[in-house]
């Protein structure tokens, strides 16, 4: 079985993408810590998901320089973080320029060292929620970007070496991803989506809005919310 490096942030998409990949590949999970607001909470989600899945090969890569650079509301509290319902078609303050290319480059470097032939990323172009497409807000969520990155890899890797970035969820909405995760028994109560990284989801930022809308459209409660409610009783 081929080995795949799977980028796992701890969110819904990456958890489902990892579950899809384990059906085909030997998994090696990579979590990139980049000192953003939700870093601690996402790391906890990653660790819980990895333990639940019984993944033997995991690594946490530090990319804290991205927070030092600033320039986006996910690392700088001086920049206001937009509520999802206020977003237009312009690039939001939560877009971290260079984040995904940097993560994929780290994944490629690790893949090269462990002989993996695949890199799995959980992005999708359209969350299926009201407002602009996620690929309009975050330009590196477009399939054209992944195609271009794969072309770059062709020139960056040794001749005859196989390495390909795959996005198995690229065409799915958030509701479809949740349904797929249900089928694959993904423990959604262990995932984390909120950009603000507080003890509880803010229910206002873009990923919170996409998460809530997705569960509503599937017609089931968000188990993360149920789990948190039960824990406080």
Q: Domain segments of the chain: what residues?
A: 3-231
* DSSP designation for 40: H
State both tokens at 122: 């959980």
CATH class for the domain made up of 3-231: alpha beta
Instruction: Decide: 117 and 4 in contact? Cβ < 8 Å.
Output: yes
Closest CA to 123 of 207, 25, 218: 207
pLDDT digits (tens, 9 = 90+) for 127-155: 999 999 999 999 999 999 999 999 999 99
Mean pLDDT of 181-204: 95
User: How are strands ordered across the β-sheet holding 26-33?
Assistant: 58-62, 26-33, 3-7, 118-120, 164-166
Residue 232 pLDDT: 47
Q: pTM of the full predicted structure? A: 0.95
Residue 14 has pLDDT above 60, yes or no: yes
């Amino acid at each position: 079985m081929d080995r795949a490096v799977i980028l796992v942030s701890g969110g819904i998409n990456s958890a489902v993408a990892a579950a899809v990949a384990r059906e085909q590949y030997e998994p090696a999970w990579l979590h990139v810590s980049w000192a953003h607001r939700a870093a601690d909470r996402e790391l906890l989600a990653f660790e819980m998901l990895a333990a639940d899945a019984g993944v033997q090969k995991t690594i946490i890569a530090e990319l804290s320089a991205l927070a030092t650079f600033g320039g986006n509301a996910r690392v700088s509290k001086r920049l206001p973080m937009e509520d999802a319902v206020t977003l237009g078609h312009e690039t939001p303050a939560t877009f971290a320029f260079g984040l995904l290319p940097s993560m994929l480059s780290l994944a490629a470097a690790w893949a090269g060292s462990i002989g993996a032939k695949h890199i799995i990323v959980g992005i999708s172009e359209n969350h299926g929620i009201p407002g602009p497409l996620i690929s309009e807000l975050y330009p590196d969520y477009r399939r054209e970007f992944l195609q271009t990155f794969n072309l770059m890899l062709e020139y960056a890797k040794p001749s005859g070496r196989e390495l390909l970035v795959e996005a198995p969820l690229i065409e799915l909405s958030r509701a479809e991803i949740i349904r797929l995760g249900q089928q694959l028994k993904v423990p959604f109560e262990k995932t984390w989506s909120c950009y603000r990284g507080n003890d509880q989801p803010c229910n206002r930022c873009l990923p919170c809005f996409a998460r809530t809308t997705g569960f509503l459209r599937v017609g089931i409660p968000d188990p993360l919310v149920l789990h948190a409610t039960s824990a406080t009783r």
